[in-house]
Structure 1
Amino acid sequence: MHNDSRTISAGEINKYVYCPYQWYYTRLFGNKKLRELVKRRNEEYGYEYTEMSHFQKGNRFHNRYHFRYKLKKLVLTLLGIACVLILGALLFWVMRYE
């Protein structure tokens, strides 16, 4: 066992609560050995480096979300201006006939 101490820190308790299996294997093998095992598995099955693709997917998501947010803000601003102009035109039209 990589970490065979009898005491468990608060950080380890948090890791255990998050994912007991991940905590167990990290405690059993250690991070270095786990990274080696993952690297060997990825080479064996032909997996690509997934962390970078997750990073790129996250960036793409946030860029799209920010674009949609700005577009929504622009559309709502234009609708607000249009409503004010229509209301002003209606008031002007009503006041003209009185």
Structure 2
Amino acid sequence: MGEKKRYISANEINQYIYCPYQWYYIRKYGLEYINSLRNPSEKEDQFVNFKKGIEYHEKYYKDIVRMRYKKYAVFLGVIFMILAILIVMRYVR
């Protein structure tokens, strides 16, 4: 990595919370080297764990997005139910 930094940025904290391994490898080897491993042309066996890490992070991201949409759907469903109850109560009086 060359010269070591004396501070950790907010972005690095975010990376560490997302995945401590990702933060460590980027800090140790640098982002350019890590990105160069994404499409290895030879020695595929050497990058099995790297590919598993990429697949894990893609699945993790998709799961987070799905969970977020489910929360929005439940929230909107509750709002619509409350509105429906208020409308029915208004016409019953």
TM norm structure 2: 0.51
Structure of higher CA gyration radius: 1
Residue of 57, 60, 67 corresponding to 1:59: 57
Structure 2: gaps (5+ residues): 1-42
Tell me the matched-pair count: 52
Letter matched to residue 59 of structure 1: H
**CA displacement, residues 29-67 of structure 1 (integer Å, 9 cap, x when unaligned):** xxxxxxxxxxxxxx5xx6461111100010011101000
After TM superposition, the runs of 4+ consecutive aligned structure 1 residues lying more than 3 A away are: none
Structure 1: gaps (5+ residues): 1-42
Which residue does the alignment assign to 1:7? Answer: none
Which residue does the alignment assign to 2:67? Answer: 69
- Structure in which a larger fraction of residues adopt helix: 1
Post-superposition offset of 1:94: 0.4
Identity, in percent, stands at 14
TM norm structure 1: 0.49
